[in-house]
Chains A and B, each alone.
Chain A
Amino acid sequence: MTTQANPSVKAPSSKVRWLFLGVSISLLTMLGVSGIFAARYLDRLHEQEQNASHLLGQRAQALSGLWLSIQNYNQAVEKFIAETNISERPVTRDQLDRLAVEIAANISGYPRARDPMEAALLAELQGVFSQQRTLYVAVVSAQPGNRLKAEQALANQTEQILAWSSKLQAWNGDRIQRADERMRLEFEGLQAGLTKTLAIGISAGLLLVLAGMAYILRLERQTDRRYTELAESRLQLQQLSASLVDAQENERRSISRELHDEVGQSLGALLMDLGRLSTEQPELRERLEPIKAVTERTVDAVRNISLLLRPSMLDDLGLVAALEWQGREVSRHSNIEVEVKSENVPDDLPDEYRVCVYRLVQEALNNAVRHSGARNAVVEVRQSSGTIQVQVEDDGKGFDPHRTRGLGLLGMEERVKRLGGQLEITSGPGVSIKATLPLPPPHGVEG
């Protein structure tokens, strides 16, 4: 018999499983994609920064070259102006020309990529320089009288060149700052983006974990409940089969008693009357004999059925006597000689123990008679250390106790289990069935 499954408990749906899988995968994908994205972005920033610093280096180099040649040129101009010895002038002039060419080269060597502001500054510088060149030419070619004035203008112009050059340098400094600023902003942007992605990822992950935990808890509760249900139904099943065994035993006992007490006794009285009748009226004896024979056969049949159902020895004489009787019965009606040994078995065993042991032995001997081809069987019952031990052994061909699980063996197991005992069946050649039953405490409820 099986118990009906509770219809309210459904199997955990596979939908939830797929949902979890989907969410987990998309979360991991999101984190992975934003990681790749951030790495690429950082790569690009790095490249930009390298580019910028390269350009700045170039510019700084060009500017410092320019600055140096302008300084040299100014010194040369001052020297030229201060030169009183006219004969020395051509030397200085050559020097000035060389320096002018150098400056021009420096200006044209300035990096090509320029933004408008930078280009404007550079153009101004170039303008001022070419004005100076003009003034210088004027100084060279001026009459000694005008010369002082021209020289004055030239010195002014030189200062202006220096000033423009400083402006250019300052602008370059600005530019570095601006580039730094831009980098910082971009980096902050990236940071913010990453923080956001991470926050979303972590909170989604947390949600996933919480949902997972809740789901697991629910499953656990379901499992618990089902386990309890299973244990309960198993217990019910056990109780049911126990009460079946009980009911069967009670039914057998009452039928047996009825047969023995009513039918048997009435037949006995009938036999006695028949006997008396045949002694009192000898002329009827011939006709009474067959009636007597039938009645005797009926008495025998009733007695045998009654004993089979419930051996009255179990009630009249106790367990050991009943087992000995059974051993003799089996010996009488089969090819097996049964020996019954007992040790310390108390007469006042509770009824369920007597019945259990008796039926166990009965079943074991029946099996031996039917299947084993045994010649001898030994039944041993003893009480020791608070248990009743029963063992039935035969010398037959044996059977496979794992495969042969007949109703008889099951019934045996059921009876033994019910009293908290253990049943052990071993079979090689020959079968040994051994049961150990813990006895009830000495002051049991048995009346």
Chain B
Amino acid sequence: MQTRVLLADDHKLMRAGLRMVIDSQDDLTVVGEADDGRAAVSLAAELKPAVIVMDIAMPSLNGIEACRQIREAHPEIEIVMLSMHSDEGYILRALKAGAKAYLLKDSAEADLTRAIHAVGAGKSFFSPAVGKVLLEDYMRKLERSGVEDSYELLSPREREILQLAAEGKSSKDIANLLHLSVYTVETHRANLMQKLNLKGIPEMILYAVRKGIIS
């Protein structure tokens, strides 16, 4: 069965490029194109695609806002965010709005199909350049402030759980995978979140990307 993809970008050239990349894959098919955020929201409701490839900067309703609305109405639709910016402000907000993948437009061609496949399988995906920028920011901050990397504070089990959770697995999945009780997994999760001073899953995913734990 083919994965149905909706394209949302206000630039025709860009959409054409994306379509060609997707059409070249046998298991992917483009079911529609939207040229702004509002059209994306209504087409998502109408066409029920599995994945939406969405540009962040669009007129009338930007990609992040459109993503939030679509995810609220249709949690089963996964979203791959396209952006020109490898900045954590964008990434964190995209994650908070419910996007699972974040691609830089410069490298969209190379990574697009991998990203669509990843989110289709319930995983996260980030352009390699994104992780690099985030890590650089993180390391510089640590170096300048002289603070220890809080990752060193985590136990091996906590690191394991961090990776699985950041990949998008639920506590129940993790418990099954590691042969632990759900309660134990929840406790580890709470501890590691506190040690890393993270609030919510988007921040955790961002942290994981920054540390290169997931990509």
Residue numbers of A with Cβ under 8 A of B are: 260-261, 264-266, 268-269, 271-276, 296, 299-300, 303, 307, 312-313, 315-317, 321-322, 324-325, 328, 331-332, 337, 375
Closest 8 pairs between A and B when the two form their complex, measured CB to CB: A275-B109, A272-B17, A269-B13, A265-B11, A321-B89, A268-B105, A272-B109, A337-B144
B106 close to A296 (CB less than 8 A): yes
Given contact pairs A265-B13, A316-B64, A332-B137, A272 touches B88 in the complex (Cβ within 8 A): no
A–B Cβ pairs within 8 angstroms, 23 of them = A261-B57, A268-B11, A268-B106, A269-B13, A269-B16, A269-B17, A271-B106, A271-B108, A272-B17, A272-B18, A272-B109, A274-B109, A275-B110, A276-B109, A307-B85, A312-B57, A313-B87, A313-B89, A315-B62, A317-B93, A322-B89, A325-B90, A328-B87
Which residue of chain A has its CB nearest to the CB of B15? A269
- Contact of A316 with B62 in the complex, beta carbons under 8 Å: yes
B105 adjacent to A328 (CB under 8 Å): no
Mark B57-74 against chain A: 1 for CB-CB distance below 8 A, else 0: 100001010000000000
A324 touches B89 (CB 8 A): yes
> B182 → chain A, closest Cβ, in Å?
35
Minimum C-beta distance from B86 to chain A (A):
10
Q: Are B140 and A268 in contact (CB under 8 A)?
A: no
B-side interface residues, number (CB < 8 Å) = 32
Verify if B47 is at the interface (C-beta below 8 Å from A): no
Q: Is B24 an interface residue (CB 8 A)?
A: yes
Determine the chain A residues whose CB is within 8 A of the CB of B16 once the complex forms: 269
Instruction: Determine the chain A residues whose CB is within 8 A of the CB of B140 once the complex forms.
Output: 331-332, 337
Distance A375 CA – B93 CA, assembled complex (angstroms): 29
Q: A317-B90, A321-B89, A331-B140 are in contact. Are A268 and B84 (CB under 8 A)?
A: yes
Number of A-B contacts (CB under 8 A): 95
B178 interfacial by beta-carbon distance below 8 Å: no
Q: How far is the CA of A42 from the CA of B136 in the complex (A)?
A: 110
Which residues 110-135 of B sit at the A interface, judged by CB distance below 8 A? 110
For the A-B complex with A268-B108, A269-B14 known, give 12 more contacts whose Cβ atoms are closer than 8 Å: A268-B11, A268-B13, A268-B84, A272-B109, A276-B21, A276-B109, A317-B93, A324-B89, A325-B85, A331-B137, A331-B141, A337-B141
Pair B57/A269 contact, Cβ less than 8 Å = no
Verify B13–A266 contact, CB threshold 8 A. Answer: yes
Q: In the complex where A316-B64, A328-B137, A337-B144 touch, is A303 in contact with B85 (Cβ < 8 A)?
A: yes
* Complexed CA–CA distance, A332 and B13 (Å): 32
Query: How close is B129's CB to chain A, nearest CB, in angstroms?
Result: 10
Q: Which residue of A lies closest to B18 (CB)?
A: A272
Measured between beta carbons, the chain B residues less than 8 angstroms from A316 are: 56-57, 62, 64, 90
- What residue in chain A is nearest B133 (Cβ atoms)? A332
Instruction: Output the least CB separation between B98 and chain A (Å).
Output: 15
Chain B residues whose CB sits within 8 angstroms of the CB of A264 once the complex forms: 84, 105
Chain A residues near B106 (CB-CB < 8 A) = 268, 271, 296, 299-300
Q: How far is the CA of A167 from the CA of B178 in the complex (A)?
A: 165
- B180 close to A (CB within 8 Å): no
Q: How far is the CB of B147 from chain A (nearest CB, A)?
A: 11
Chain B CB within 10 Å, residue with most, of A272, A299, A332: A272
- Write the nearest CB–CB distance from A62 to chain B, whole angstroms: 130
Question: Is B20 among interface residues, defined by CB-CB distance under 8 A?
Answer: yes
Min CB distance B27 to A, Å, is: 17
Shortest C-beta distance, B102 to chain A (Å), equals: 14
Cβ contact within 8 Å between A317 and B21: no
Q: Is the CB of A276 within 8 A of B93?
A: no
Closest beta carbon of chain B to A219's beta carbon, Å: 61
Q: Which of A260, A272, A321, A328 contacts B84 (CB 8 A)?
A: A260
Could you say which residues of chain A place their CB within 8 Å of the CB of B194? none
Are A317 and B17 CB-contacts (below 8 A) given A325-B89, A337-B144?
A: no
CB <8 Å contact, B109 and A271: yes
Nearest B residue to A265 via CB reads B11
- Per the bound structure, the CA–CA distance linking A137 and B46 in Å amounts to 177
Interchain CB contact under 8 A, A265 and B20: no
When C-beta atoms are compared, the residue in chain A nearest to B82 turns out to be: A268
Task: Check A276–B24 contact: CB distance below 8 A.
Answer: yes
Of A260, A265, A276, A315, most B-chain CB atoms within 10 Å: A265
